[in-house]
Amino acid sequence: MTAHLRVPSPIGDWVVEGSETGIHRLTLETTPSIDGANSASASPLLERAAEELREYFAGARRHWTVPLSPLDGTDFQRHVWRELQNIPFGQTVTYGELASRLNRPRAARAVGGANGANPLPIFVPCHRVVGAHSLGGYSMGGARVKEFLLHLEESWA
């Protein structure tokens, strides 16, 4: 059974969804929901994920321990998402660099597409991928949120 918990942050409420076996989605709501309710059946795992997110936004967490559910996506997307997890905290790489790491040097746009489809931003840190000459996009709240997350991590690095 899937449940969810809301986690307030300086940039809006994050909604973490998962089951007893892993976290499978994280979304950002930049406007408060009408009911603001959490699932009544939130598992200890969801509670742990919410606590880790609160610690992250407080500057006290740099590594995730909560298990993630296998991510649904194409083979290429899953390959990109695995590689995102290798980008060190507080560091960035360009879309082109990430494509080269995947032995697909001409796939920078496809890397951007895979980042945009990432169901677990922050846990799978797609915000750490930037354009060669700009910040690049961020599907979870736009450039403002991406910039906030990068500055948050840079301030503790």
**Which of the four pLDDT bands, split at 50, 70 and 90, describes residue 1?**
confident
Position 113: which residue type?
Answer: G
Q: What pLDDT shows up at residue 125?
A: 96
Claim to verify: residue 92 and residue 140 sit in the same structural domain: yes
How far are the Cα atoms of 61, 62, 153 from residue 157, in angstroms, in the given order?
Answer: 12, 10, 6
**Residue 65: inside a domain:** no
Claim to verify: residue 84 and residue 52 sit in the same structural domain: no
Q: What pLDDT shows up at residue 129?
A: 97
CATH number, domain containing residue 94: 1.10.10.10
For residue 41, pLDDT over 90 is answered with no
Number of Cα atoms under 13 Å in the Cβ half of residue 7: 23
Q: Quick check: helix, strand or coil at residue 5? A: strand
For the range 30-37, what are the long-range contacts, defined as Cβ-Cβ under 8 Å and sequence gap of 24 or more?
30/141, 33/6, 36/6, 37/6
How far the first Cα of the chain sits from its last, in Å, is 38
**Residue 130: inside a domain:** yes
In sequence order, which residues have a C-beta less than 8 Å from that of residue 119 and are 6 or more positions away? 24, 25, 26, 71, 72, 73
Q: What pLDDT shows up at residue 156?
A: 72
Claim to verify: residue 87 and residue 147 sit in the same structural domain: yes
pLDDT digits (tens, 9 = 90+) for 93-145: 999 999 999 999 999 999 999 999 999 999 999 999 999 998 888 888 889 99
Q: Which domain, by its residues, includes 143? A: 75-154
Show which residues are catalytic. 126
What pTM does this model have?
Answer: 0.90
For residue 42, pLDDT over 90 is answered with no
Claim to verify: residue 80 and residue 108 sit in the same structural domain: yes
Claim to verify: residue 146 and residue 95 sit in the same structural domain: yes
